Amino acid sequence: MAAASRTWFRLSPQFLRSFRRSDGKLFHTGRRRLQTKPSNGAASAYHMANTEALPEYKHQAKIIDGVAMAKEIREEVRAEVDQWVAQGHRPPHLSVVLVGDNPASASYVKAKTKAAKGAGITSETILKPSSISQEELLDLVEKLNKDDRVDGLLVQLPVPDHMTERTVCNAVAPEKDVDGFNVVNVGRFCLDEPAFLPATPYGVMEMIRRSGIETFGKNAVVCGRSKNVGMPLAMLLHTDKEHHEICADATTTICHRYTPGDQLEVFTKTADIIIVAVGQPNLITADMVKEGVVVIDVGINRVVDPVTGKMKLVGDVDFEGVSQKASYITPVPGGVGPMTVAMLLKNTMQAAKGQYSWD
């Protein structure tokens, strides 16, 4: 997840169908209805049409400011880097491999290297054309694995279609795998062993921890089961807190593309904590949650603003409606995204110190 690649949140047709009612319409029982408009062959534009004013609720959610929290973490990393260098070590170094010319990927990589510089971490971006073969990419990764100057290493996802993402992720040495995607790191943290955590789930759990949100014994629902976001989040939410300070001891349910639409609402209405990482605007609406719920929105969607007619970023949650019932909620943008980058820097610092070793 590294800044969360949009690939993680891209919906399949099967997923969309799973949230449709028997009459073929998108499942929704509330006062706000999701509408879809084709946009001259471009990506569909979504907007919300108010058919009736939302009722008054007792709660007005506290906004979890991911920008401010990420800044705090970056400052903590900077202080740790300064102390590390003062002890006679070189600054930590992060190498990022970017394959192809995906604008979103390029933007994510730029954000990562800019944040690294601010935290005192040196970095480099290695650009390769999309025509590069998988063998050539794996050779490059192996070269960086053996380079003692490189502490943290990641290959920005997605990779071109002719490559196997899992093979590429597993090629990164576990001790340099600051994305936390190597199968060794995934397996170790699932077994409560020390490991690099994927940056987006790590950031989400850190948001919950720093906000003082109680998780012990709570009902948590994760919408989305991607291997880089949904699955790790579910593992961290249910894991015994004695193994890691960000683990939650929650009773955790995962909803995914085969969860019937009516059952999705059953789960979300009983949830104390809802984390949504799907890629469907307004998937979670006010009528689907109980008062006082904590809502973390990981989704990233580009939609048409019905007022300005311009594109804007939104999450998977009807922010306006749900924030009137939730106790805590994250905005999009300005929520989980900045935390993903901050936790990547934290992982890079840990890699420089050799915090995790499997020799």
Q: Are strands 93-99 and 122-128 parallel, antiparallel or unpaired?
A: parallel
CB atoms near residue 255 (< 10 Å): 26
Report the alpha-carbon distance of residue 133 to residue 160 in Å, rounded.
Answer: 9
Catalytic choice (151, 156, 280, 318): 156
Residues in contact with 28: Cβ distance below 8 Å, sequence separation at least 6, in sequence order: 34, 285
Catalytic choice (151, 179, 316, 318): 179
Q: Is 83 part of the annotated catalytic residue set?
A: no
281-311 burial, b at 16+ Cβ within 10 Å, e below that, comes to bbbbbbbbbeeebbbbbbbbbebbeeeeeee
Amino acid at 92: P
Q: Is 192 part of the annotated catalytic residue set?
A: no
Place of tokens 């949100």: 213
Phi, psi of 289 (to 5 degrees): -130, 160
Q: Are strands 273-276 and 294-297 parallel, antiparallel or unpaired?
A: parallel
Three-state DSSP class for residue 75: helix
Catalytic choice (112, 176, 325, 346): 112
Q: Is 156 part of the annotated catalytic residue set?
A: yes
Indicate which residues carry an active-site annotation.
112, 156, 179
